[in-house]
A = this chain, B = another copy of it.
Amino acid sequence: MPHPTFFNLPADKRNLIFEAAVEEFYEFGYAKASISRIVAKTGIAKGSFYQYFEDKKDLYKHVLEVIGRQKTEFSAAAFHDLERNDLLQMVRELFVSGIRFYRAHPKLASIAGDFAKLREPELKREITGDAAAKSNEFFIRLIERQKESGRIAPDVDAPVLADLIAFLSVYVAEHYADQALFGSEKQAMKTIDSLIWIVENGIAATNRPGR
Q: Which residues of A contact B (CB under 8 A)?
A: 29, 31-32, 87-88, 114, 117, 119, 121, 147, 150-157, 159-161, 163-164, 167, 171, 175, 178-179, 181, 190-191, 194-195, 197-208
Contact = CB atoms under 8 A, between A and B. Distances in A.
Given A157-B194, A164-B195, A178-B121, A202 B200 contact: yes
Given A163-B181, A181-B160, A195-B160, A152 B200 contact: no
Given A31-B31, A121-B178, A202-B198, A208 B151 contact: yes
B161 A198 contact: yes
A195 B202 CA distance: 11
Given A31-B29, A32-B31, A205 B151 contact: yes
B205 A157 contact: no
A159 B191 CA distance: 9
Contact of A200 (B119, B163, B167, B203): B203
Contacts of A190: 157
Interface of A is mostly: helix
The count of identical subunits is 2
A204 B151 contact: yes
A199 B191 CA distance: 16
A33 to B, nearest CB: 10
For the complex of A and B, the 4 pairs showing the least CB-CB separation, nearest first, are A202-B202, A157-B194, A117-B117, A31-B31
Contacts of A194: 156-157, 160-161
A119 B29 contact: yes
Contact of A171 (B157, B167, B202): B167
Contacts of A29: 31, 119
Contacts of A201: 153, 155, 202, 204
Contacts of A160: 181, 191, 194-195, 198
Contacts of A153: 201-206
B159 A181 contact: yes
